[in-house]
Structures are given as structure tokens and as C-alpha cells.
């Protein structure tokens, strides 16, 4: 690929990543406003068009009235109130379709114009398949709340959230690789160490995403609304109250929230240490140091958002911002990992 094609493809992937970020934020609002079960059908094509007149709204509302959520929770809901929750879920689904089109059409164009290298095509096809899987997982998640219990499965919600992050990570990482070459080897032991730490920080943030999914799925943010202790305890006594013990990690509010807090504490110590360590490494580029500073600031904002969200029992605006903040932190961390593998101009010991 020539440099012009690389820049074009990278810009396209970054734009698609931005759309995925928007989908994540709207999805957070959809969940927090309890709007996710308002559309009871999966219609990938005709579902793009919402109800256009009062008769169509009445028919759509009648379908919703047959769901457990309406019968058990929202039985006094009016049509105007239904429209509010409908449109959050509708916009979430439309954005999902939009990113599919925004990905596939330029991909086909670049491929037909032979602007994609042979090693890049399988990666992009894999991302496209992940997008299809995400759409199917979204409907599979919604279906779990259309039965007896009007709540989506926390397992399916966490899978849906995790795939969204995986799509974002894949597009953003491939885009970064097109902007500048990476994956260098180095003889600098200190640099290798911070590269490994950067990688494990990505694993840790991934852990935060998964535990955050379970916190959201069982609404554990509505409990233990104190900080830094959990209702006066470092480790809440209810942490293993469910039998068998392993179900506590998925079904117990105390355990899921404790696990999520634990990851935040680890990040709060490791990221500042990494930032400080990078200041003194000559093998690290100035851009990598600046990105590390940006990561430190983003993490501080994200942790502050998390604490505020918890203390205020998850208001919609803060909850959605916290979910979006997680993707921003992950994106900046990916950027830092990329920069740690880019050689400074004139450096030795790389190849």
C-alpha cells in the first residue's frame, strides 16, 4: 500500500471507531432509561423506518403491551411515554446499521480499487464478521428480556458490550498500524518491561469492561453507594453468599461491584507509575510520553465519573458518560501501546 492509501484507510477506520463509540454511549442511555425492550421485533431492513402515524404507533404499542416488561412494570405507560423509550432503542439500532454500511461500502471500494494489502484484507473481513455477530448478539440479548423476567440476561449483555469493545479495538489498532509502523524488537530491557506492562494494562481494562457489564446487567450500581468502603466494609460480608460460590461473580451485587472496584484501584496505582517511569526512558518517543499523560488524565476523569455515578446511584447522564469513558481510556491505552513500539528517530537497537 502506498502512503496515500494507508492514510485514507486509516481515516476510514478511525471514523468507524468513532461511530462505534457513539453506539456505545447511546446504548448506555438505552439501558439506563430501560428502553432496550421497547422494540419487540428484529427487522434489519424495514426496521429502519419508525412508525409514521398514530395508527402505526398504536400497533407498535400494542405489540409492546404483550411483553412482560409492560405487564409487570410499565402497565400505566402512555403512548407518549412509550415513544420516548422506543426512540432510544431505535436510534441505537439505526447507529448499528449505520456503522455496518459505513464499514462495508468503503471496504468494498478500497478492495475493488486494489488499495488494500493482502495481509490487511483478512483483518478487515474479520472485523466485518464481528459486526454481524454483534447484531445477532444484540437481538439475542433483547430476546432474553421478552420472556417471563423483563430484564435482559447479564451474560448476554456483557457479551454484547464486550463484542462492541472488540470491534472498536480491532478497527482502532489496525488504523494505528497504518499510520505508523510498529511491532519493533528492542534490546532495551527497560523498554521491553514497559511494553509488557502496557499490554497487561489492556488486559486489565478488558477485565474492567467485563466486570462493568455484569455490574450493569444486575444493576449492582444501585447498591453499596458509598466510597471508598462498601457500606462500611473493605470486603463486603455478602461477597460469597450465593451457592455454588462461582455464581457470585455473575449474580451477586456485592461481588460484581467489588471486582469492578478492585480493577479500578489497580489502574489507579499502575497507570501513574507507568507515566512516571516513561518520563525517564530515553528509548521512548516524546509522543508516547504525551499519550501517557493523556491516559493519566483520562483515567482520572473516568475514575471520578465512576465514583460520582456510584454515589448518586447511577443517574442516566453520568452512567452513559462512564460507559463512554471506558472506551476512551481503552482507545488511548491502545495508542500508547502502539507508540511504545515506534522507534524514536535515529535510535539504535531496533529492527
* Per-residue pLDDT, 3: 85
Nearest CA to 343 out of 205, 143, 195 is that of: 195
The owner of cell 410499565 is 74
* Per-residue pLDDT, 349: 41
* Per-residue pLDDT, 184: 58
Radius of gyration (C-alpha) of the chain in whole angstroms: 22
- 217, 79: one domain: no
pLDDT tens-place string over residues 78-96: 999 999 999 999 999 999 9
Residue finishing a domain among 134, 156, 179:
179
Residue finishing a domain among 146, 179, 212:
179
> Is residue 264 within 8 Å of 308, Cβ to Cβ?
no
Nearest CA to 219 out of 310, 85, 318 is that of: 310
Query: Taking the CA of residue 306 as centre, how many other CA atoms within 13 Å lie in the half-sphere pointing to its CB?
Result: 27
- Return the C-alpha cell found at 303: 475514575
> How far from 63 is each of 41, 71, 137, 300, CA to CA, in Å?
9, 12, 22, 45
In angstroms, the CA 82 to CA 39 distance is 10
- 55, 74: one domain: yes
- 238, 340: one domain: yes
Residue finishing a domain among 116, 144, 179:
179
- 166, 205: one domain: no
Give phi and psi for 254, each to the nearest 5. Answer: -65, -45
* Per-residue pLDDT, 185: 67
Print the SS3 string covering 222-278: HCCCCCCCECCECCCHHHHCCCCHHHHHHHCHHHHHHHHHHHHHHHHHHHHHHHHHH
* Per-residue pLDDT, 255: 97
Number of domains in the chain: 2
- 93, 205: one domain: no
Answer whether 0.85 is exceeded by the pTM: yes
For the four alpha carbons of 190, 196, 200 and 201, in that order, the dihedral sign comes to positive
* Per-residue pLDDT, 282: 85
- 194, 342: one domain: yes
- 105, 127: one domain: yes
- 50, 169: one domain: yes
In angstroms, the CA 220 to CA 252 distance is 8
* Per-residue pLDDT, 351: 36
| Ranges under pLDDT 70 in the chain | 46, 182-187, 343-351
* Per-residue pLDDT, 346: 47
- 313, 331: one domain: yes
- 134, 207: one domain: no
Q: Which domain holds residue 69?
A: 1-179
- 28, 59: one domain: yes
First vs last Cα of the chain: how many Å apart?
A: 21
- 211, 142: one domain: no
Nearest CA to 324 out of 168, 203, 174 is that of: 168
Amino acid at each position: 500500500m502506498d502512503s496515500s492509501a494507508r492514510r485514507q484507510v486509516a481515516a476510514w477506520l478511525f471514523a468507524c471507531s468513532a461511530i462505534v463509540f457513539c453506539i456505545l454511549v447511546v446504548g448506555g442511555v438505552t439501558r439506563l432509561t430501560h428502553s432496550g425492550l421497547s422494540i419487540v421485533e428484529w427487522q434489519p431492513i424495514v426496521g429502519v423506518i419508525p412508525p409514521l402515524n398514530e395508527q402505526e404507533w398504536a400497533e407498535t404499542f400494542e405489540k409492546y403491551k404483550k411483553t412482560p416488561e409492560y405487564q409487570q412494570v410499565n402497565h400505566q405507560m402512555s403512548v407518549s411515554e412509550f415513544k420516548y423509550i422506543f426512540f432510544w432503542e431505535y436510534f441505537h439500532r439505526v447507529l448499528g446499521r449505520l456503522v455496518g454500511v459505513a464499514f462495508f461500502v468503503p471496504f468494498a471500494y478500497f478492495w475493488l480499487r486494489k488499495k488494500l494489502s493482502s495481509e490487511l484484507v483478512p483483518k478487515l473481513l474479520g472485523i466485518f464478521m464481528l459486526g454481524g455477530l454483534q447484531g445477532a448478539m444484540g437481538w439475542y440479548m433483547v430476546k432474553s428480556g421478552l420472556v417471563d423476567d423483563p430484564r435482559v440476561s447479564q451474560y448476554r449483555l456483557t457479551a454484547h458490550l464486550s463484542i462492541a469493545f472488540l470491534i472498536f479495538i480491532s478497527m482502532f489498532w489496525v488504523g494505528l498500524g497504518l499510520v505508523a509502523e510498529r511491532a519493533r524488537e528492542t534490546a532495551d530491557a527497560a523498554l521491553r518491561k514497559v511494553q509488557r506492562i502496557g499490554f497487561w494494562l489492556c488486559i486489565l481494562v478488558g477485565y474492567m469492561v467485563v466486570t462493568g457489564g455484569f455490574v450493569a446487567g444486575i444493576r449492582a450500581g444501585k447498591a453499596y453507594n458509598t466510597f471508598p468502603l462498601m457500606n462500611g466494609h473493605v470486603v463486603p460480608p455478602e461477597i460469597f453468599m450465593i451457592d455454588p460460590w462461582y455464581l457470585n461473580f455473575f449474580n451477586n451485587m456485592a461481588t460484581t461491584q467489588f471486582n469492578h472496584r478492585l480493577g479500578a484501584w489497580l489502574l489507579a496505582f499502575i497507570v501513574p507509575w507507568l507515566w512516571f517511569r516513561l518520563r525517564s526512558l530515553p528509548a521512548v518517543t516524546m509522543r508516547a510520553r504525551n499519550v501517557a499523560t493523556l491516559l493519566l488524565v483520562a483515567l482520572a476523569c473516568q475514575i471520578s465519573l465512576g465514583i460520582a455515578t456510584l454515589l448518586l446511584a447511577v443517574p442516566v447522564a453520568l452512567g452513559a458518560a462512564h460507559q463512554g469513558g471506558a472506551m476512551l481510556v481503552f482507545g488511548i491505552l491502545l495508542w500508547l501501546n502502539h507508540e511504545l513500539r515506534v522507534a524514536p528517530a535515529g535510535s539504535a537497537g531496533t529492527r
